[in-house]
């Protein structure tokens, strides 16, 4: 008989400074990248819940750099929130649990890197927005996150995934995947491949603005999906931003663009009924209101002028990444059915079309916020 999950994870959990043994473990199925578990430990008085994760070394090839960023960012967020008078610090930001030797990660005999966070109770996540209020909250949450990190001291953060939002290089990787077509899958995605080639001209717009110094480099989250915001069960208000492995130097436009992608369409990112996929302007209005209420104090006019375009660009880039991964054999994003990444790509490209139809009005929404503020 094989080991139970508790028996397999117990020796790893024991490496961390948790006051009590593991009594229960459960696989957490949320997320595409890391291997995540809920673990419950008994400290002699009661049960405490933690999050145990194994870092995906295929995606994050320098786990110590990931953890160095993570520790610095979590410490700075906690200090800033404390200065602002926040009383529930353990609910407002992630808390790393050190190992018994004082590090913030453990390397097992196979070279895998593990870390533990204190569980945040009384919260939930949503896979898709359910109301304009949700769109406003996700905008406010990530806007506050960016604002808190504007003055992070010390050296430049590590690039945990180099060129993560380098859309030109993403496009070059896609072209190579089409040319190689190792699994003969391009025949199943002819329409999507043609769509991608038609949109090649937009790939350099933000990159060129960055290289010319027209927009600044900032510290950004780089994965601003709605399900990376913890929502309070009682108030449904945003509590904390999570999934911080991709926090690194970047561009706020990429963060906002991913919010447009995930918070302005009422469907999941792998919706198969494409007739349901659309960018809803009421959701976008509230997203802008929430985001600029928090981030408006530090954004430049050049950044604001590209906010609507950023939604189109990042939605296209994400669809391109799903398509590339599909063509190469689904090595990056976890899949749960055949052609799952192709379905994800089709959903993104349909959303790009919807954004294109409304892009002018979207930018007017941004401009009107500037006017009445």
Q: Residue 266 pLDDT more than 90?
A: no
> How many whole angstroms separate alpha carbon 236 and alpha carbon 233?
6
Q: 259, 289 in Cβ contact below 8 A?
A: no
- pLDDT (mean) for 165-172: 96
Q: Burial level of 316, CB count in 10 A (0-12/13-18/19+)?
A: buried
Return the domain boundaries, the chain.
5-120, 132-372
Q: Residue 372 pLDDT more than 60?
A: no
Q: Residue 1 pLDDT more than 70?
A: no
Model confidence pTM above 0.85: yes
What are the tens digits of pLDDT across the range 14-66? 999 998 899 999 998 766 678 899 999 987 788 999 999 999 998 899 999 99
What is the structure's pLDDT at 332? Answer: 84
Beta partners for 229? 241
The CATH label, of 3.40.50.720, 3.90.1200.10, 3.30.750.24, 3.30.413.10, for the domain at 132-372 is: 3.90.1200.10
Going by pLDDT thresholds of 50, 70 and 90, the confidence category of residue 127 is: confident
Fold category of 5-120 in CATH: Phosphorylase Kinase; domain 1 (3.30.200)
- pLDDT (mean) for 165-171: 96
> How many whole angstroms separate alpha carbon 265 and alpha carbon 279?
5
Strand-strand pairing, 47-54 and 96-97: unpaired
> How many whole angstroms separate alpha carbon 333 and alpha carbon 154?
33
> How many whole angstroms separate alpha carbon 22 and alpha carbon 307?
46
% residues pLDDT > 90 (the chain): 87
Higher confidence at residue 105 or residue 267? Answer: 105
């Amino acid at each position: 008989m094989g080991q139970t999950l508790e028996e397999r994870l117990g020796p790893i959990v024991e490496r961390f400074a948790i006051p009590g043994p593991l009594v229960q473990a459960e696989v957490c199925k949320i997320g595409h990248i890391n291997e995540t578990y809920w673990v419950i430990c008994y400290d002699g008085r009661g049960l405490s819940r933690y999050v145990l994760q194994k870092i995906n070394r295929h995606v994050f090839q320098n786990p110590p750099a990931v953890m160095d960023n993570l520790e610095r960012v979590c410490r700075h967020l906690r200090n800033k929130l404390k200065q602002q008078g926040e009383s529930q610090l353990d609910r407002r930001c992630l808390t790393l649990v050190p190992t018994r030797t004082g590090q913030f990660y453990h390397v097992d005999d196979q070279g895998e890197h593990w870390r533990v966070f204190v569980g945040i109770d009384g919260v939930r996540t949503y896979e898709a927005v359910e109301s304009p209020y949700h769109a406003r909250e996700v905008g406010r949450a990530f806007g506050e996150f960016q604002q808190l990190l504007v003055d992070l001291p010390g050296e430049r953060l590590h690039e945990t995934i180099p060129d993560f939002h380098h859309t030109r290089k993403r496009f070059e990787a896609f072209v190579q995947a089409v040319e190689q077509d190792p699994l003969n899958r391009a025949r199943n995605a002819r329409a999507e491949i043609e769509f991608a080639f038609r949109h090649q001209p937009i790939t350099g717009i933000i990159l060129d603005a960055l290289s010319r110094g027209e927009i600044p480099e900032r510290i950004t989250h780089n994965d601003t999906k709605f399900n990376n915001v913890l929502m309070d069960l009682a108030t449904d208000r945003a509590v904390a931003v999570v999934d911080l492995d991709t926090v690194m130097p970047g561009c706020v436009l990429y963060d906002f663009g991913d919010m447009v992608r995930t918070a302005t369409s009422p469907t999941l990112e792998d919706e198969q009924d494409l007739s349901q996929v659309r960018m809803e302007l009421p959701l976008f209005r509230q997203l802008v209101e929430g985001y600029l209420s928090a981030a408006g104090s530090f954004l430049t006019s050049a950044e604001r002028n590209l906010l609507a375009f950023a939604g189109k660009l990042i939605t296209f880039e994400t669809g391109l990444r799903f398509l590339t991964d599909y063509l190469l054999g689904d090595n990056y994003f976890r899949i749960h059915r055949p052609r799952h990444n192709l379905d994800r790509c089709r959903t993104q490209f349909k959303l790009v079309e919807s954004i294109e139809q409304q892009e002018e009005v979207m930018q007017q929404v941004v401009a009107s916020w500037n006017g009445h503020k």
